Amino acid sequence: MMVQKKSLTKFIIQSDLLGEKEKMRPLKLNMLLSLIIGLVVSGAAYAQGWFKYVSEQDQFIVNFPSDPEVIEEDYVTEFGATIPSRIYSVQNPNGRYAITVIDYTVAEQAHEDLCLQIAAETDIVSPNTCRGRGHFRDIRGAIAYESWNIRKRNSGEITYDAFGQVDGVPGHQIQILHPDQSRSFIGLYMLNQRLYLLEGTVPDDYPPPGLFQQSLGMLDEMGRRIRFEADDEGNYSRVQTRYEYVGVEDPITGEPESEFSISSDGRLRQPNEFTGAWTPDSSEN
């Protein structure tokens, strides 16, 4: 009898435990569904408002969460020449998103002006020596120099510091973990004597700024996105792309509405060009 009583007691306890587990299953399922819905909603809120921003002046395209503030500043190169730069930035509770374009296309003239200034102030430099090619040193070292400037900030722990590229355009990438646990994701890329410095900083509980980071594109004079690929021997050439033109797109057809409907050489574009298609000529490799 005692054995039967123990067996009965054991059965009752197991039944109670099984009942509790059955009660917990709907609760766990509801918690899981709430978590999934929360992630979807927060992700949608994070993405809300992002749009394609195009700069015709500095020939780039990038995603921004709102219209950026644009500030022009002088930039002093490694060898002391002063050249222009423009900072496009958005600051909101979700972080700061900025792209700085440093214009090395005027570096030659800036170096000549610097040399003439030094020649006028001292007897060390002759004005006749101010038409050299010293600006090439600045252009070749632009990425390395600005990377060094970023490291000098001492704003946190550098967690990544290595080569990077966008659309085959080589550059450098740096990631910084700040004391408040916010993180900065930085990319530097040089094309056609313009240095593009892309920097996104987000709070510690936010994902990396992928909508911003991965959207950068550099454009040619006709507003076509530039992309390079390497062959088996490591030689780079420009390849076909299917990206948008500079300008406002027609909401129905998706075709661009801008002055770029006619190319810089005066010819009308081919129909397939209005889809963003571009096949490089062999002479442009």
pLDDT tens digit sequence for 163-205: 999 999 999 999 999 999 999 999 999 999 999 999 999 999 8
CB 274 within 8 A of CB 256: yes
d(CA 88, CA 14): 66
| Buried/exposed code over 148-169 (b: 16+ C-beta within 10 A; e: otherwise) | eebeeeeebebeeeeebebbeb
Q: What is the pLDDT of residue 265?
A: 44
pLDDT at res. 149: 97
Contact criterion met (CB below 8 Å) for 281 and 263: no
Q: Would you say residue 162 lies in a domain? A: yes
Contact by Cβ (8 Å): 177, 183:
yes
102 and 76 within one domain: yes
Q: 130 pLDDT band (50/70/90 cuts)?
A: confident
Query: Do 158 and 209 reside in the same domain of the chain?
Result: yes
198 and 57 in one domain? yes
261 within a domain of the structure (yes/no): yes
- Domain holding 271, by residue range, is 222-285
In a domain, 18, yes or no: no
Q: Which of these three, 200, 218, 236, is where a domain ends? A: 218
Specify the CATH number for the domain of residue 188: 3.40.1000
Does residue 177 share a domain with residue 138?
Answer: yes
Domain identity same for 100 and 181: yes
Among the candidates 201, 218, 235, a domain finishes at: 218
Residue 45 is predicted with a pLDDT of: 43
| Spatial contact of 101 and 85, defined as CB atoms under 8 Å apart | yes
Is residue 204 located within the same domain as residue 230? no
- What is residue 40's predicted lDDT score, i.e. its pLDDT? 42
∠157-161-167 over CA atoms, to 5°?
135
Q: pLDDT by residue (tens digit) across 28-40?
A: 555 544 444 444 4
- pTM of the entire structure? 0.71
Q: How far apart are CA 144 and CA 170, in angstroms?
A: 12
Strand partners, 184: 176, 201
Q: How many domains does the chain have?
A: 2
Give pLDDT tens digits for 39-49.
443 444 444 57
Tell me whether residue 11 is in a domain.
no
Instruction: Give 3-state DSSP helix, strand, coil % of the chain, rounded to 5.
Output: 35, 35, 30
Residues 131 and 239 both lie in one domain: no
Measure the CA–CA gap between 153 and 183, rounded to whole angstroms: 14
The pLDDT tens digits for 51-89 are: 889 898 999 999 999 999 999 999 999 999 999 999 999
**Which of 198, 218, 238 is the C-terminal boundary of a domain?**
218
pLDDT of residue 280: 57
- Going 282 to 222 to 262 to 248, the CA torsion angle's sign is positive
Q: Is the dihedral of CA 153, 106, 197, 166 positive or negative?
A: negative
The Cα 194–Cα 99 span in angstroms is 12
Together in a domain, 260 and 203: no
pLDDT of residue 215: 87
Residues 188 and 67 placed together within one structural domain of the fold: yes
167 and 251, same structural domain?
no
Express each pLDDT in 227-274 by its tens digit. 898 888 888 888 876 554 444 444 444 444 444 344 444 444 444 444
